[in-house]
Structure 1
Amino acid sequence: MRNILQTISNMLWGWHVLIPILIVGIWLSLKSKFFQIRKSKFWMKTALFGSKSEKGKISSFQALTAALGGSIGTGNIVGVAVAVGTGGPGAILWMCISALFGMMTLFAENMLAAKYPQKKGPLGYIERVKKIGKPLAALYAVGCFLSSLAMGNMVQVNAAASAFSEFGISPEMSGFILAAVLFFVAVGGMQFAVKITEKLVPLMTVIFFSAAVVVLWVFRANIPSAITSIFEGAFSLRAGLGGAAGMILAAKTGISRGVFTNEAGLGSASFAYDEVESLTPVQKGCLGIFQVFADTVVMCTITGLCILSAQAPLNLEGAAISFFPFEAAMGEWGAKLISFCTALFAVATTITWCCYGREGLFYLTKGKGKTTFAVVYAFCAFLGCVVPLDFAFQLGDSFNGLMAIPNIIALFCFGSEVMTVIRDKDRKVRLREKTKKASKLIKSKSRQK
């Protein structure tokens, strides 16, 4: 059975999927003249000062917390350690480079989903691919539904239950509590989920950053050498090979296992922004850029600096490498704090992926099966807390492949439309600047008269 699962996983998820994901990000970045860098002020402003929610609607902040909840998982803590252990310190820089291209991939996904809102999230633009759109969308929906049960649920709650056990809570009790919460999320959908994520995501982020600041302060003398090792390692012979492998490993396991968790290439994040009606397609795309920036460039880099500045032994197991700096800086409380963060990250992921999987099922059943999905999702949550999950990672890889393949095909098909929107945006900005200059010139001449 294990060999069969491995064969299926290799067919649906591997280099043949990873390379197109990276290529589409590079292609979009080059064609847009690196929009994510040129317009950094614009997308930062859109994310931090977005729209407020109207009655019965979701605000951009709520949608962003939901998307971040889905992408920020246990991999932001454990996954960085795996990347560093595999490719050396230079892998951190490779992760940031890949995230730079991933920003445009997520921008395109969100923008296209907003432009074609006839179906939820990425299903709208995938369905419009000529001749094969509907079969591709159905394939995506199947992958989304199944992935939400495996990688978005069972794997995450298993990590949460392990973390809660540090506080004396049994896996069975964790299972009951998480199953109950996720049942109500599955019934309520995104409208209910964002009420949790808008409080949970800022809380877990503050706790994690506070703990990281303590670690970096305790080992502050080692920070310069840690930064140097990242850049030296990224371009040395060992890191050029091992670090590049670390980047690919981080990209692969981050999408499928919460290791590299920005979800660029899967299209799933666009589900979170679907009900935000007060933003333009470009603004929704900008939220995607910020999501990748916050998730990978900021959080993963900080985790990496904590590991390197604390000089954690890289021969430890992945989780132990990440936990080492916090325990070394704060003792037993540091270990408990990072365990609590891991649990919160995992719970946030299950809440958001519950909504993603729900939409995948609804596409297949034409909106039917809400209660059935809630029961199945809750049962999987309980099961994930109490049983070993050796095979769940392979299942998750396969299901994510079912999502990535149709999505990447659609992105290549509609990439030119993304570029048209960006060029229109640039043209309007230039026109606005010319108008301002002309206005200032007229005012200046009138004063001289």
Structure 2
Amino acid sequence: MQEFLENVIGSANDFLWSKLLIVLLLSLGLFFTFRSKGLQVRMLREMIRVLKEGAAARSKNSISPFQAFCISMAARVGTGNITGIAIAIALGSPGAIFWMWIIAVIGSASSFVESTLAQIYKVKDQNGFRGGPAYYMEKGLKKRWMGALFAVLITLSFGIVFNSVQSNTISIAFQNAFGTSRLTLGLILIAVFACVIFGGVKRIAKMAEYVVVVLAVLYIGIAFFVILTNITQLPSVLSIIKKNAFGIDQAAGGALGAALMQGVRRGIFSNEAGMGSAPNAAATATTSHPVKQGLIQAFGVLTDTLVICTSTALIILFSDAYHQPGLSGIALSQAALSDHVGAWASGFLAVLMLLFGFSALMGNYYYGETNIGFLSQNKKWLFIYRICVLGMVLFGCISKVQLVWDMADLFMGLMVVVNLIAIFLLSKKAFAALSDYVRQKKAGKDPVFYRDVLPDDDGIECWEYSDIAKNTKGKHIS
């Protein structure tokens, strides 16, 4: 039965990732880049400024823009940054890293669009705000069925399957480093995680804010040390990445396809651009303009891949570990780091993976929670969801790694397809908001958004009408 399931999932993934998603991600990413006039480069300084502004904003009763950024980064900066990169190199060659860079730069524009839309169509609840693709599909496209489909997919993929991926990597890392029983670790993990998820989104935001920042700085610091001590190898490693990206040094005709597919697949798993996950966190922020959170999330994609994922890639490629047969995933990352700093690195990386993975568990769980709220307000479904999440975390600790990753790829692929269709159809709203933001910035103002600046504000619940609109009974002022 398991072999049959693996074959079915494998065939579906081959179609999604080798054909459909590569076309959709690249074409729509390029379209959004063109429509935003290269926002990824043109507004990079503004992204950093807005992030600093968000970090300074604090409130006991709401989620700050920086905390919303950290919730999304908690999901991004997880095992995908270490394990996923190792798998991409092992299965797709070092050339996969090049395609991850391309997807990150192009996908940053897609992330801006989806996160801006999440802010525009967010709704108010007892905890502040919530929103995401399910909400802008229902309110912006008037297609609740589409929102419900997405809500089910993201709940299954992030809350259920992706969390088993995280716990799977954590348990393998500890088993490799310390010989720890995977079942014992799983029981400890779900006990601690239960305390967090039953505490609500504000507890998740507060923990994510501290954990993500500390972990990212620590890991980048280690990578920086490794890069400095191996700086003379950098030109040759970059050359290897370039040659393998296009299959120049490969005899097999499928080398380019393998590098491209693995680069796209692991890049999306790591930075989540266009997937529809980060907008769920982006919608929770209290901010003066939707574009601010869109810019922050776009910056998150660039940071995740160009800094953190590249750090992992260089650690691996500066070592001889990736030439060793049979090494992949966290085992490859542990072997590579041990080559650079000594045998203690295996245990250190296991602990780091525990903290990285736990931060990702928090972000992934929240994505499911907010979509459970979209499907039903009945608290029993949220309770059932929480129990299922804890069960899958334990399952991931003791299960076979490949099947878990294949299931994650399948659900992720289906999510991306549904979300990309939606943000393409609604992209005019995001770019209208961007035009409003740029106009106010040029006028020397701190941009403030009102829903009447859009040609069609039907379905938007927040963002009260401006004074001008009130005097004209809410009609759009061109």
TM-score by length of 2: 0.82
User: What does 1:43-82 align with in structure 2 at a 5 Å threshold?
Assistant: 43-50=47-54, 51-82=56-87
Q: How does 1:215-364 map to 2 (within 5 A)?
A: 215-234=226-245, 237-238=248-249, 242-243=255-256, 245-255=258-268, 260-316=269-325, 317-319=327-329, 320-364=331-375
* 1:187 aligned residue (170, 195, 198): 198
1:89·1:229 contact (CA, 8 Å) conserved in 2? yes
1:151 equivalent to 2:155? Answer no
* Residue 424 (structure 2) pairs with residue 412 (structure 1): yes
Q: Give the aligned partner of residue 171 of structure 1.
A: 182
Letter in 2 for 1:208: Y
Q: 1:384 aligns with which of 396, 400, 413?
A: 396
Letter in 1 for 2:186: G
Map 1:81-120 → 2, pairs under 5 A? 81-118=86-123, 120=131
**CA 315–363 in structure 1, closer or farther in 2 if over 3 Å, else same:** same
**Structure 2 vs 1, CA of residues 340 and 279 (structure 1 numbering), >3 Å: closer, same or farther?**
farther
Which residue number corresponds to residue 444 of structure 1? none
Cα distance, 1:402–1:87 mapped onto 2, change above 3 Å: closer
Give the CA deviation at 1:430: 4.0
> Is the contact made by 1:358 and 1:370 (CA closer than 8 Å) also made in structure 2?
yes
The question of 1:26 aligning with 2:4 is answered: no
Q: SS in structure 1 opposite 2:428?
A: helix
**Aligned-partner SS, 1:58:** coil
**What per-residue deviation string (whole Å, max 9, x for no partner) do you get for residues 290-343 of structure 1?**
111111011111222222233444354223443333111221112222222222
Q: Which gives a bigger RCO, structure 1 or 2 (Cα 8 Å, sep 6+)?
A: 1
Identical amino acids, percent of aligned pairs: 30
Question: What is the deviation of 1:168?
Answer: 5.1
Q: 1:425 to 1:274 in 2, by over 3 A?
A: closer
Q: CA deviation at 1:24?
A: 1.6
CA distance in 2, matches of 1:20, 1:217: 38
Structure 2 unaligned blocks of 5 or more: 124-129, 446-478
**Equivalent residue pairs, number:** 428
Distance in 2 between residues matched to 1:251 and 1:315, nearest whole Å: 24
SS at match of 1:33: coil
User: Is the contact made by 1:102 and 1:265 (CA closer than 8 Å) also made in structure 2?
Assistant: yes
Deviation by residue 1:142-176 (Cα, 9 ceiling, x = unmatched):
11111134432112112112223323543233212
Judge conservation of contact 1:47–1:61 (CA < 8 Å) in 2.
Answer: yes
| Post-superposition CA distance 1:7-26 (Å, at most 9, x none) | 35644743223421222211
Q: Distance in 2 between matches of 1:16 and 1:93?
A: 20
> Among 120, 129, 142, which residue is 2:152 paired with?
142
State how far apart, in whole Å, the 1-side matches of 2:222 and 2:317 are.
15
Match of 1:37 in 2: 41
Structure richer in helix, relative to its length: 1
Distance 1:11 1:231, change over 3 A: closer
Residues 295 and 243 (structure 1 numbering): CA distance in 2 closer, same or farther, change over 3 Å? farther
1:282 alignment partner AA:
V
RMSD: 2.6
Name which of structure 1's ranges 138-147 and 413-422 shifts more when overlaid on structure 2: 413-422
Q: Which runs of 5+ in 1 are unaligned?
A: 434-449
TM-score for the superposition, normalised by structure 1:
0.87
Match of 2:4 in 1: 3
Deviations 1:238-273 (A, max 9, x none): 489735642331222444xxxx41111221111112
Is contact 1:154–1:383 with CA below 8 Å preserved after alignment? yes
Paired AA for residue 385 in structure 1: C
Cα distance change on mapping 1:367 and 1:238 into 2, 3 Å: farther
Shift of residue 381, structure 1, vs aligned partner: 1.6
Moved more, 34-43 or 21-30: 21-30
What is the distance in 1 between the residues matched to 2:278 and 2:203?
17
Q: Deviations over 1:179-200 (max 9, x none)?
A: 1222233323321112221221
Partner of 2:48, secondary structure, is helix
One-letter amino acid of the structure 1 residue matched with residue 154 of structure 2: C
Amino acid at match of 2:78: G
- How far apart in 1 are the matches of 2:133 and 2:302? 21
Q: CA shift at 1:117, angstroms? A: 1.0
